[in-house]
């Protein structure tokens, strides 16, 4: 068996979906002064996460009565009155917070202005409130830090390897036999990837935006928006790849991943294929990675939610995505992997 140490660097934000969410009954957003890297005092926005039961216990008797009155009200508006109550008592919530996460300015300002308020009225006078629900990214239950699951990493590598096999045989049924069926002949049966633990980095909260990739069908101000927690680009992880079968070589893994993922990565900077969405990428991302050159011990992966259909399907089998997800003017899910001694 051969084992390889892998360093992974997020070169764009990553969201590993869990199905769980933060709600304004267990967080508040507020400003806090912190020292920047150059020693200056700056004011940032943070989400302070707390336990609702601890929050209730920290209230005095009068405020507990107010809380109970809101909770016992079965009306639709009760939830949003509770949001407002928590915001009015945010200092108590901040004191008992067990974690805080950086929130980017546009979402923070929207929260300050509209949380617990009616945002519009539909026909018949029905009030519409903004729920301010935020999708969580996966955190290790042991460290409370982001974790890139080994199964997710292996799945990304498997997609690239399947594509390499398909290019040779042009028979996807055969590829499925070799890669997807739980038999003794499965090529990846003895290919193991450990969970990747964070060694440096953090998460942040912002709105993810979905745009059409086709200029003709896209509209300047259109696009679905969702609020999510994402792993910050530049965050670093470490994992191990173990290969127990001589049929698979690490060089094959590197080549297949780069053959599959590198063209997709480079398409972000191609005005002919992504002319409309290209302008939704930050100048710093474009400048840093437009001419990305990989070393012999490096390969690209794309992991997590919102990575796009091209990344998760074999070229020639699946359909190309028609939309593009970005967050803070970065695409989702790109990871630079490096084999280290």
What is the count of structural domains for the chain?
A: 2
Give the pLDDT band (50/70/90) at residue 119. low
Note down the domain range covering 102.
24-132
Q: Which residue has the higher pLDDT, 35 or 12?
A: 12
Burial 104-140 (b: 16+ CB within 10 A, else e): eeebbebbeeebbeeeeeeeeeeeebbebebbbbbbe
pLDDT of residue 94: 97
pLDDT tens digits along 204-235:
999 999 987 765 554 555 678 899 999 999 99
Nearest to 200 by CA among 6, 10, 18: 10
Find out whether 267 and 274 touch, Cβ atoms under 8 Å. Answer: yes
pLDDT in tens, 276-287: 667 788 989 999
Of the three residues 132, 163, 191, the one that is the final residue of a domain is: 132
| 280, 268 Cβ separation under 8 angstroms | no
pLDDT at 107: 93
pLDDT on residue 79? 86
Let me know if residue 18 belongs to a domain. no
Could you give the CA distance from residue 209 to residue 227 in angstroms, rounded to a whole number?
Answer: 9
Residue finishing a domain among 84, 105, 132? 132
Pair (34, 154) in one structural domain: no
Instruction: Name the average pLDDT for the chain.
Output: 90
Answer yes or no: is 140 within a domain: no
In this predicted structure, the answer to whether residue 76 has a pLDDT above a threshold of 70 is yes
pTM attached to this predicted model: 0.91
Q: Residue 31: is its pLDDT beyond 90?
A: yes
- Whether 256 is in a domain gets the answer yes
- Residue 341 tokens, joined: 């001694």
Distance of CA 325 to the CA centre of its chain: 11
> By the 8 A CB rule, do 164 and 254 touch?
no
Of 97, 132, 167, the domain-final residue: 132
Distance linking the first and last C-alpha atoms of the chain? 16
Residue 138 lies in a domain: no
């Amino acid at each position: 068996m051969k084992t390889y140490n892998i360093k992974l660097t997020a070169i764009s934000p990553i969201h590993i979906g869990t199905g769980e969410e933060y709600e304004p009954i267990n967080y508040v957003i507020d400003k806090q002064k912190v020292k920047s890297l150059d020693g200056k005092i700056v004011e940032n926005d943070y989400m302070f996460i707390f336990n609702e039961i601890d929050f209730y216990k920290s209230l005095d008797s009068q405020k507990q009565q107010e809380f109970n009155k809101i909770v016992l009200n079965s009306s639709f508006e009760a939830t949003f009155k509770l949001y407002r109550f928590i915001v009015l008592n945010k200092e108590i919530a901040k004191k008992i917070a067990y974690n805080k996460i950086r929130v980017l300015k546009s979402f923070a300002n929207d929260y300050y202005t509209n949380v617990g308020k009616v945002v519009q009225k539909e026909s018949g006078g029905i009030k519409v409130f903004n729920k301010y629900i935020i999708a969580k990214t996966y955190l290790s239950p042991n460290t409370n830090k982001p974790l890139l699951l080994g199964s997710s990493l292996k799945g990304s590598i498997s997609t690239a390897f399947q594509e390499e096999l398909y290019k040779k045989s042009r028979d996807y049924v055969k590829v499925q036999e070799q890669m997807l069926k739980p038999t003794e002949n499965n090529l990846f049966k003895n290919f193991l990837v450990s969970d990747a633990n964070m060694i440096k980095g953090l998460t942040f909260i912002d709105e993810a935006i979905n745009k059409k990739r086709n200029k003709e069908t896209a509209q300047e101000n259109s696009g679905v928006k969702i609020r999510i927690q994402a792993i910050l680009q530049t965050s670093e992880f470490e994992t191990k790849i173990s290969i127990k079968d001589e049929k698979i070589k690490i060089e094959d893994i590197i080549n297949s991943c780069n053959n599959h993922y590198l063209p997709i990565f480079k398409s972000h900077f191609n005005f002919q294929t992504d002319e409309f969405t290209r302008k939704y990428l930050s100048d710093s991302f474009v400048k840093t990675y437009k001419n990305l050159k990989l070393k012999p011990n490096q390969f690209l992966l794309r992991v997590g939610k919102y990575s796009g259909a091209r990344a998760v399907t074999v070229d020639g089998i699946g359909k190309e995505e028609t939309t593009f997800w970005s967050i803070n003017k970065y695409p989702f899910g790109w990871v630079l992997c490096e084999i280290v001694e």
